[in-house]
Amino acid sequence: MAENAEGDLNSNLLHTAYHTGDPQLDSAIGQWLRWDKNPKTKEQIENLLRNGMNKELRDRLCCRMTFGTAGLRYTMGAGFCYINDLTVIQSTQGMYKYLERCFSDFKQRGFVVGYDTRGQVTSSCSSQRLAKLTAAVLLAKDVPVYLFSRYVPTPFVPYAVQELHAVAGVMITASHNHKEDNGYKVYWENGAQITSHDKEILKCIEECVEPWNGSWNDNLVDTSPLKRDPLQDICRRYMEDLKKICIHKELNSKTTLKFVHTSFHGVGHDYVQLAFQAFGFKPPIPVPEQKDPDPDFSTVRCPNPEEGESVLELSLRLAEKENARIVAAVVVAEMASYLETMNVTLKQQLIKVYEKYGYHISKTSYFLCYDPPTIKSIFERLRNFDSPKEYPKFCGTFAILHVRDITTGYDSSQPNKKSVLPVSKNSQMITFTFQNGCVATLRTSGTEPKIKYYAEMCASPEQSDIALLEEELKKLIEVLIENFLEPSKNGLIWRVV
């Protein structure tokens, strides 16, 4: 009886006109409950509606994700601004519409789809499921789809797009983001991440929000003759091509150096083992706790190498135990092996490079900011610093030589004051070149609520006092943060180290 009552309530919710006092929200609720066929995410919205959580419903349903760094990346869950079954179907429908317009041979060349092992049980959302739905949308429209039968590293997708002459590809991944996130990373026919196509794709998505017939039919990935599995072929070709950049295979096979590798609970372990084999190395020693895919990333707070030693703690501990000098990828391993034959370490070689070309010191970090208007006002203030349309000439006592603003297309170092680099109006990015040779960039993340800073000092070869250079860079970063970001005033959250 109780089960029937619950079923009747859900049925009533589906067919009721909603009266929240907000016509836009009422319309969005109706659309979600009609279009979403995932029981878990549908239930999340029904529960919010039942409990009168109008603000959260508005946050989830009355805005859409925008294309960031080459696609979509956001939290998994219910709502039009989250990553879930419905928003991935909508995105793929928009991709189909745009690609059909761009390529007359779309249905001959096809599309590549790969995925990692991310997932969220509460939303019944996983990278594999999202990949299948991406494929289903295209298969239902008679597009050949190269869908990997197993999780793959991200580079396999752009590589496959080029090797198989597909028009484009999508990798379902959030790379190094927190475990709650997932993403839809888009690659063009040349294997590059999309940059200039994002606005038009977004327009096409907004024109195709209602799921088409067949878009939810993920059985097509098992039954359609247009679905192909490129896994074995692409893995073989990739490793063969990798051998072409190997220079010292014989030396590699004889090296006494040991290498440690961690996959941070991602999908890299098997493929890195194959890559080391292709270079002639013995297998690298894997960090056992982080070797296998784990959507909870259970040994790290965030699987991002930007976090430094806190993420690499297990790798460094294992390297010490195994007397391995390097925690690295295969090309670095080959460099280390070659230098070992001359009794030179990587660090010693780097110092030689510095002595010849000058010391290069860089520091990067970030602040968290969950309020987009605050982020915008920080950057707008820099564009109108002492007066309207005037960038700062000093940061504390440090004189600014040039300013480049990728968001607006301005570059004071160019004769016509126009940036040579492509303009990206959807993100914030300003670079300051200082009189003392330091270059500092402030930019927003395309995928996370972060304001990042990158500061580097490129000294001339005769400036060899590294302590002095580091102190100069440290002082500049301090005034950059205080004068340009104003963390206390703007409520910015410092990175936890």
**Secondary structure in 3-state letters for the chain:** CHHHHHHHHHHHHHHCCCCCCCHHHHHHHHHHHHHCCCHHHHHHHHHHHHCCCHHHHHHHHCCCCCCCCCEEEEEECCCCCCECHHHHHHHHHHHHHHHHHHCCCHHHHCEEEEECCCEEHHHCEEHHHHHHHHHHHHHCCCCCEEECCCCCCCCHHHHHHHHCCCCEEEEECCCCCCCCEEEEEEEECCCCECCCCHHHHHHHHHCCCCCCCCCCCCCHHHHCCCEECCHHHHHHHHHHHHHCCCCCHHHHHHCCCCEEECCCCCCCHHHHHHHHHHCCCCCCEECHHHCCCCCCCCCCCCCCHHHCHHHHHHHHHHHHHHCCCEECCHHHHHHHHHHHCCCCCHHHHHHHHHHHHCCEEEEEEEEECCCHHHHHHHHHHHHCCCCCCCCCCEECCEEEEEEEECCCCEECCCCCCECCCCCCCCCCEEEEEECCCEEEEEEECCCCCEEEEEEEEECCCCCCCHHHHHHHHHHHHHHHHHHHHCHHHHCCEECCC
Is 279 a domain residue?
Answer: yes
Residue finishing a domain among 284, 314, 347: 347
Burial-class residue 299 by CB neighbours within 10 Å (0-12, 13-18, 19+). Answer: middle
Is 236 a domain residue?
Answer: no
- Active-site pick, 27, 123, 126, 175: 175
- The stretch 323-340 carries a mean pLDDT of 94
Is 277 a domain residue?
Answer: yes
Bridge partner list, 451 = 367, 444
Burial-class residue 435 by CB neighbours within 10 Å (0-12, 13-18, 19+). Answer: exposed
Is the domain of 78 the same as that of 135? yes
CATH number at residue 84: 3.40.120.10
CA 280, chain centre distance (Å): 31
pLDDT tens readout for residues 282-320: 999 999 999 999 999 999 988 888 777 778 999 999 999
Contact 404, 382 (CB under 8 A): no
- How far are the Cα atoms of 129, 143, 170, 273, 378 from residue 156, in angstroms, in the given order? 19, 20, 11, 15, 38
Is the domain of 323 the same as that of 196? no
Is the domain of 378 the same as that of 305? no
Sheet holding 181-188, edge to edge: 71-75, 181-188, 168-172, 111-115, 145-147, 227-228
Is 409 a domain residue?
Answer: yes
Is the domain of 204 the same as that of 323? no
Is the domain of 127 the same as that of 152? yes
Is the domain of 87 the same as that of 159? yes
Angstrom distance (rounded) from CA 480 to CA 441: 10
Both tokens of 230, joined, read 């490129």
Bigger pLDDT: 288 or 460?
288
Q: Assess whether pLDDT exceeds 50 at residue 461.
A: yes
Is the domain of 53 the same as that of 73? no
| pLDDT score for 460 | 87
Is 235 a domain residue?
Answer: no
Number of domains composing the chain: 4
Domain of residue 217, residue span: 64-230
Is 45 a domain residue?
Answer: yes
Both tokens of 299, joined, read 């040994």
Is the domain of 89 the same as that of 212? yes
Residue finishing a domain among 289, 322, 347: 347
Contacts of the segment 381-389: beta carbons below 8 A, 24+ positions apart: 382/430, 382/442, 382/484, 383/408, 383/430
Is the domain of 255 the same as that of 318? yes
What residues contact residue 92 under an 8 Å CB cut-off, 6+ apart?
Answer: 133, 134, 137, 138, 170, 215
Contact 455, 477 (CB under 8 A): yes
Least confident of 100-109, 116-125, 463-472: 463-472
Is the domain of 218 the same as that of 312? no
What is the residue whose two structure tokens read 């995105």? Answer: 91
Contact 206, 64 (CB under 8 A): yes
Q: Assess whether pLDDT exceeds 90 at residue 69.
A: no
| pLDDT score for 17 | 62
Provide the mean pLDDT of the chain. Answer: 93
Is the domain of 83 the same as that of 58? no
| pLDDT score for 481 | 97
Is 353 a domain residue?
Answer: no
Angstrom distance (rounded) from CA 243 to CA 230: 20
Q: Assess whether pLDDT exceeds 70 at residue 497.
A: no
Percent of the chain with pLDDT over 90: 83
Contact 54, 25 (CB under 8 A): yes
Angstrom distance (rounded) from CA 470 to CA 491: 28
Of the pLDDT bands very low, low, confident and very high (cuts 50, 70, 90), residue 3 is very low
Residue finishing a domain among 173, 201, 230: 230
CATH number at residue 388: 3.30.310.50
pLDDT tens readout for residues 347-406: 999 999 999 999 999 999 999 999 999 999 999 999 999 999 999 999 999 999 999 999
Angstrom distance (rounded) from CA 405 to CA 441: 10
Angstrom distance (rounded) from CA 29 to CA 413: 51
Angstrom distance (rounded) from CA 38 to CA 78: 9
- How far are the Cα atoms of 141, 243, 388 from residue 470, in angstroms, in the given order? 58, 39, 34
Is the domain of 439 the same as that of 321? no
175 has catalytic annotation:
yes
Of the pLDDT bands very low, low, confident and very high (cuts 50, 70, 90), residue 80 is very high
Is 352 a domain residue?
Answer: no
Residue 302: count other Cβ atoms within 10 Å of its Cβ: 18
- The stretch 156-171 carries a mean pLDDT of 98
pLDDT tens readout for residues 242-282: 999 999 999 999 999 999 999 999 999 999 999 999 999 99
